[in-house]
Structures are given as structure tokens and as C-alpha cells.
Amino acid sequence: MPGSPYLAEPPEGLWTWPRLLKFSIPTIGAISIVAWWQELLMEWGIVLILSFGAALILRR
């Protein structure tokens, strides 16, 4: 379709949702399991909230 914002293939280096989720879900999952095992869930939750908050503020 002419003028469509959708491309046949994403440009090189563009982080799309499927690519981002393939990276972030295993990483966050593994760190969460280790935090649970070491009984650091409260600290891990605080780090997650602060990280997401910083990303939200920086991306504005």
C-alpha cells in the first residue's frame, strides 16, 4: 500500500517487540529466579520499578 508505515522487513538495528521480548523475558526471568532463590525479591522489585521509571522518564 503506498504511504504505508509498515515495511516488508524492519531496518537493521531496529528493536521490534518480538526481538525485544526474546531478549528481555529470559533475562528478567533468570534474574527473578536467582532473586527468589537468594530471598532478594523485595530488592529485585525495587530495582525493576526504578529501572522502568527511569526508562519512562528518559524516553519522554
pLDDT at 49 over 70: yes
5 or 56, which is more confident?
56
Average pLDDT for residues 25-34, to the nearest whole number?
96
Question: Do the Cβ atoms of 31 and 39 come closer than 8 Å?
Answer: no
pLDDT at 21 over 80: yes
> Can you say how many angstroms the Cα of residue 56 is from the centroid of all Cα atoms in its chain?
12
Q: Please give the helix or strand (H or E) that residue 47 lies within, else none.
A: helix 41-59
In 5-34, which positions are buried (b, 16+ CB within 10 angstroms) versus exposed (e)?
eeeeeeeeeeeeeeeeeeeeeeeeeeeeee
